[in-house]
Amino acid sequence: MRLGLGIDTGGTYTDSVILDLDTKEIISRSKALTTYDDLLKGIVDSIDGLRSHENIQLVSLSTTLATNSVVEGKGCRVGLLTIGKRIVPDLDVSSIGFVDGEFDMRGNIITELDEMSATNRLTDMKGKVDSIAICGYLSVRYPEHENRLKGLASEILDVPVVCAHDLTSKLGFKERLNTAVMNASLIPGIIGLISSVKDALVEFDIDAPLMIVKGDGSVMSSDVAMERPIDTIMSGPASSLTGAMNVPGVTDAMVIDIGGTTTDIGMIQNGFVHTLDEGASICGHRTRVHAADICTYGLGGDTGMELVDKRIVFSGRRSIPYCVASSRWPSIHDRIMERRMVSIDDCIFFIHSNGKGPLSLNELKGEMGLSDASLGAMESSGSLIRISLTPTDILAAEGRYDWYDSTASTVMVELIASFNSMTADELIHLAKGSVKGRLLQCIYDYIYRSDDEPMEVFGRVGQAERYKKADITTIIGVGAPSGSWLPDVADAIGYDLIIPDDFDVRNAVGAICSRVTEYVEIIIRAAPNDFSPDPQCRVYASDDSFYFNGKDEAMEFAKSEGIRIATQKAKASGANEIEIMMKIEEHNIDDKFHGKCLFRGADIIVKAFGDPSFGSK
């Protein structure tokens, strides 16, 4: 029996499963609270809850670290060198240097690389940066200058160095600049996490290769992840898609993952994760690396809810549910059970990052003299964590969720309802309708990529037809709250709904079921002035370009070189028994005068994939 350990660090829980890799049967499963200040603690607690740690031959981790670091602006100090263009990135850097050096579109040197200037700038960065990003104009075609500066930076500074052309083959200097900076900012953090996880595996006597889930749902070795942490952005949501792919008999579906903090929506089509070449969008910045087509929405089981003028307003922030808080802090339990609240403000509590609390909103304002604006800023920074009404409390009050102290949720729903001249049943009905409406809005936004429609549209007659424009009308629900919220949602829009076994740990299942997949793009361009039937061509492959006297010769070389590079990358990422798929898109123009079709170039995409190599146990 070959066993694998899958780990998913979600916004609220860290899930672990031990899976029979041949039958896909879950042998053991465990949940632990995710510890934001130290992700490793939640991982260790989750692994510790498994029945056994013996005979594990493969470990795979999906992590929120990279995504959260970008969202929260918690990357390391980055030094940036740009070559040929004086353009600054949209992301913050600690130090920047502009270096002369430029190619034209045909690869001819316009300006020699100014290595002396680069040396001076790198020397100035000593002790001020934790990583270096290098981005040159046209480097995706002519990476020589980037590679030379990488060697120089490695000699002068003892920090990781990232070249933009190694991350993306897409044109667009500003976009590649942001991608390089983003990747460089994540390297020390991902190195620290992976090192800690490896130490934890040693503690549990688990001697197996460690894989990391990428944003497209595939996996890579931990060594490659430490060089390309940007690939791990959206790692967690992508795991839900690969977990859903293991549902028998389903090849096309919308996958909705409702977690504690967010709802993630993606697609599987023809049995594969639907992906985007331009990558995920995080805080308005495209990663420009291959990733699953996923949209993330600020609605989860632990999303804060407020009752304003008898309408539910979602805060978009994570709150601690009353049932969880009552189990964790005796003072909260006593207050709730004794119904000490005299106003709605007494129903909101806060925990300070220094350990102070829980304090009610009124107590916090009085004790610390904080304004509403200051409270909001402290919540955004993580200094204050709110305890308030959440969808989890609504389910607990209705009797559909019995983890932790569900009685506390029931009492608080009754109190909040009474402060708003409502019954508890009325509040539960209102809250459930609001969650359902918000989920419908998320689905509509995912299908049409527009949230211009007002919420009220979802109450209209015939609304189901609005969702039939999508080719896929099956929903697979994963994540702990999905079984409670999605049946009404699917019924409202006429979708079939599948809630698979172990739906609440499907992300961890997806992590350990994923395959290694690597992509390589080889570009062929005909000589600009050669319009013959068999033109001279230039092939752009990896770090070099090659000239050929004819189309056929260029095409054969490009295909073989693409296979070679893709296979090499897949092996480095830990693949075994590699398979190859190839897509060729030719660019031709019609010569109507001579009645000919003229070849002007081709884009060749090679996909190399295979199962991860297992340990020796």
The answer, yes or no, to whether residue 208 has pLDDT greater than 70, is: yes
Structure tokens at 100: 């002369």
> Which pLDDT value is given to residue 510?
92
Structure tokens at 434: 């609001």
> Which pLDDT value is given to residue 451?
40
Domain boundaries, the chain: 75-189, 242-348+388-477, 516-612
The answer, yes or no, to whether residue 149 has pLDDT greater than 60, is: yes
- The radius of gyration of the chain from alpha carbons, rounded to an integer in Å, stands at 27
> Which pLDDT value is given to residue 616?
55
Closest CA to 211 of 580, 568, 507, 613: 613
Under the banding of pLDDT at 50, 70 and 90, the label for residue 171 is: low
> Which pLDDT value is given to residue 9?
87
1: exposed, middle or buried (Cβ count in 10 Å: 0-12, 13-18, 19+) = exposed
Under the banding of pLDDT at 50, 70 and 90, the label for residue 225 is: very high
Q: What residues contact 601, with CB distance under 8 A and at least 6 apart?
A: 523, 524, 525, 526, 537, 586, 587
> Which pLDDT value is given to residue 455?
37
Residue 358: is the preceding peptide bond cis (ω within 30°)? Answer: yes
Instruction: Provide the angle, in degrees to the nearest 10, between the axes of the packed helices 65-72 and 173-203.
Output: 130
How is residue 86 annotated by DSSP?
A: -
Q: What residues contact 202, with CB distance under 8 A and at least 6 apart?
A: none
296, amino acid identity: T
**Torsions phi, psi for 104 (to 5 deg):** -95, 180
CB–CB of 74/66 below 8 Å?
A: no
Q: Name the pairing type of β-strands 516-526 and 575-591.
A: unpaired
Averaged pLDDT score across all residues of the chain: 87
State what percent of residues in the chain have pLDDT above 90.
Answer: 51
| Average pLDDT over every residue of 350-378 | 78
HSE of 47 in the Cβ direction (CA atoms, 13 Å)? 25
Q: What residues contact 381, with CB distance under 8 A and at least 6 apart?
A: none
**Torsions phi, psi for 439 (to 5 deg):** -65, -40
Mind listing the pLDDT tens digit for each residue in 367-400?
Answer: 777 777 777 778 776 788 899 999 999 999 999 9
410: exposed, middle or buried (Cβ count in 10 Å: 0-12, 13-18, 19+) = buried
Mind listing the pLDDT tens digit for each residue in 522-551?
Answer: 999 999 989 888 999 999 987 788 999 999
Q: What residues contact 79, with CB distance under 8 A and at least 6 apart?
A: 93, 94, 95, 96, 97, 122, 125, 128, 129, 131, 132, 133, 157, 159
Candidate from 63-77, 310-324, 401-415 with smallest mean pLDDT? 63-77
- Give CA–CA dist 31/10, Å, rounded: 10
Global model pTM greater than 0.85: no
Question: How far is residue 67 CA from its own chain's centroid?
Answer: 5
CB–CB of 344/420 below 8 Å?
A: yes
**Torsions phi, psi for 47 (to 5 deg):** -60, -40
| Average pLDDT over every residue of 460-487 | 74
> Which pLDDT value is given to residue 527?
93
CB–CB of 255/240 below 8 Å?
A: yes
Buried b (16+ CB within 10 A) or exposed e, 111-143: eebbeeebbebbeebeeebbbbbbbbbbbbbbb
CATH class as words, domain 75-189: alpha beta
Mind listing the pLDDT tens digit for each residue in 268-315?
Answer: 988 888 888 777 766 667 777 888 888 888 889 999 999 998 899 998
CB–CB of 397/407 below 8 Å?
A: no
CB–CB of 247/510 below 8 Å?
A: no
Structure tokens at 582: 């190839």
- Give CA–CA dist 349/331, Å, rounded: 11
